[in-house]
């Protein structure tokens, strides 16, 4: 199919059976929360939209043709803000997709029966605090009691109906405000009957509240103390805990490409990942960078397999890590080349070399 290029003395070609396996689909950019750590606030003129049912149906059809097996509803908004979400979940399950939902949990109480009845495979709930006031301060104007009622209802319905689905996971974004609740979050996750908790570092952005723990020596030491308690908490309850790196290393893994995943915005634009899906600015480990959206195609106009295969050079770099490790480079505070994702010192265009997800500082619900 022409996906061949020369690399030194070698000619490399993409395997004919290469295809995407997972799609993260953004069915809404609306949200009923205004969280302190949300990077929606870093996007100039952020546009709100709900994906139409017809567009989601088109994505599913093209996904099936391309060999996609998993659908993740997530993105830069709250999926339950889309009034068609349950209908979308139903269609995806009827077509045989493994389906995951990433939610703030505010609507769990109302949709718990549908999630269990439809056989949704995974639900990721962002919690970020187990103190009612702290939760409200971080996840404005969130109601922790309502989220907890929804979680308990969901878990009780699973038992009542004898269902192992959905697997319920918690996501806890670590900031200066909630670092003291990290070990406690594991206890409460266990007590609720949640299967897994993923700890993820906050991604700072210019103009946002300075909440980054890994940028602050005092907060980092406190976090290390909290994480020292994690092994004991795991032994006590058996809950799975995913821990982020506290500092970048040369060990890297792209969560999107390792899952052969693509990100589809609510307008149908296809990007390699959630991080590069919009124009915005970040401030990772004290260095401010401009992120330019990376567009691979438009699902409304192109076949998904065609979009995947024409992006093979970018995927090759991620698979073999043919890119510099910018975040742990000695010149990270002085290098002007990687103050955006346009390029890097190896000539890659675009560059993923300073992505916090690649370095394991933060996690995606894939």
CA–CA separation, 80 vs 213, rounded Å? Answer: 30
* List of E strands, 188-329: 196-201, 240-242, 261-264, 269-271, 280-284, 287-291, 297-298
Residue with tokens 């406690």: 184
To 10 degrees, what angle do helices 182-192 and 217-228 make? 40
- Helix/strand/coil for 71: strand
pLDDT at 294 over 90: yes
Q: Higher model confidence: residue 311 or residue 150? A: 150
CA–CA separation, 229 vs 224, rounded Å? Answer: 9
- The answer to whether the beta carbons of residues 260 and 21 sit under 8 Å apart is yes
pLDDT at 207 over 90: no
- Percent pLDDT > 70 in the chain is 99
For residue 233, the model assigns a pLDDT of 76
For residue 307, the model assigns a pLDDT of 96
Q: How far is CA 133 from the centre of its chain?
A: 26
Q: Which CATH class is domain 18-328?
A: alpha beta
Q: Which two tokens stand for residue 26?
A: 């953004």
pLDDT at 202 over 60: yes
Say how many CA atoms lie within 13 Å of 24 toward its Cβ. 22
Question: If we measure between CA atoms, which residue out of 200, 275, 305, 189 comes closest to residue 238?
Answer: 189
Task: Give the model confidence (pLDDT) of 301-331 as tens digits.
Answer: 999 999 999 888 888 888 888 899 999 999 9
CA–CA separation, 170 vs 330, rounded Å? Answer: 35
pLDDT at 195 over 90: no
Residue with tokens 């602050």: 216
pLDDT at 1 over 50: no
- The answer to whether the beta carbons of residues 121 and 73 sit under 8 Å apart is no
Helices (H) and strands (E) in the chain, counts: 11, 16
Q: Which two tokens stand for residue 81?
A: 């803000």
For residue 4, the model assigns a pLDDT of 76
| Residues whose CB is less than 8 angstroms from the CB of residue 171 and which lie 6 or more positions away in sequence, other chains included | 102, 124, 125, 126, 127, 128, 197, 198, 200, 363, 365
CA–CA separation, 24 vs 273, rounded Å? Answer: 8
- Helix/strand/coil for 15: coil
DSSP 328-343: G-TTTTT-STTSBSS-
For residue 2, the model assigns a pLDDT of 52
- The answer to whether the beta carbons of residues 198 and 365 sit under 8 Å apart is yes
The average pLDDT across 269-286 equals: 95
For residue 291, the model assigns a pLDDT of 96
For residue 239, the model assigns a pLDDT of 85
């Amino acid at each position: 199919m022409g996906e061949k290029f020369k690399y030194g003395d070698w000619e490399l070609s993409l395997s004919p059976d290469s295809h995407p396996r997972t799609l993260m689909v953004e069915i809404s950019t609306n949200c009923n929360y205004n969280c302190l750590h949300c990077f929606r606030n870093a996007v100039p003129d952020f546009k709100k939209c709900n994906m139409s049912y017809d567009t989601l149906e088109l994505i599913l059809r093209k996904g099936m043709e391309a060999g996609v097996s998993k659908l993740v509803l997530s993105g830069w908004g709250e999926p339950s803000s889309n009034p068609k979400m349950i209908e979308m979940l139903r269609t995806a399950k009827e077509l045989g997709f493994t389906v995951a939902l990433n939610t703030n949990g505010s609507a769990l109480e109302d949709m718990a029966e549908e999630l269990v009845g439809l056989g949704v495979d995974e639900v990721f709930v962002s919690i970020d605090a187990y103190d009612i006031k702290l939760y409200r301060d971080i996840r404005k104007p969130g109601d922790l009691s309502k989220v907890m009622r929804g979680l308990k209802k969901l878990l009780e319905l699973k038992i009542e109906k004898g269902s192992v689905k959905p697997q319920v996971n918690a996501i806890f974004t670590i900031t200066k405000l909630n670092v003291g609740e990290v070990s406690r979050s594991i206890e409460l996750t266990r007590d609720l009957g949640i299967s897994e908790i993923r700890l993820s570092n906050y991604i700072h952005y210019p103009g946002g509240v300075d909440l980054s723990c890994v940028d602050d020596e005092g907060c980092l030491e406190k976090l290390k103390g909290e994480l020292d308690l994690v092994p004991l908490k795991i032994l006590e309850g058996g809950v799975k805990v995913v821990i982020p790196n506290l500092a970048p290393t040369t060990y890297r893994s792209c969560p999107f490409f390792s899952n052969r995943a693509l990100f589809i915005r609510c307008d149908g634009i296809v990007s390699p990942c959630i991080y590069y899906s919009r124009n915005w600015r970040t401030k990772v480990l004290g260095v401010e960078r401009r992120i330019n959206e990376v567009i691979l195609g438009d699902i409304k106009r192109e076949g998904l397999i065609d979009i995947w295969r024409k992006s093979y050079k970018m995927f090759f770099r991620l698979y073999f890590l043919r890119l510099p490790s910018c975040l742990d480079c000695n010149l990270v505070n002085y290098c002007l080349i990687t103050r955006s994702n346009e390029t890097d010192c190896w000539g890659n265009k675009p560059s993923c070399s300073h992505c916090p997800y690649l370095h394991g500082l933060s996690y995606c619900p894939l």
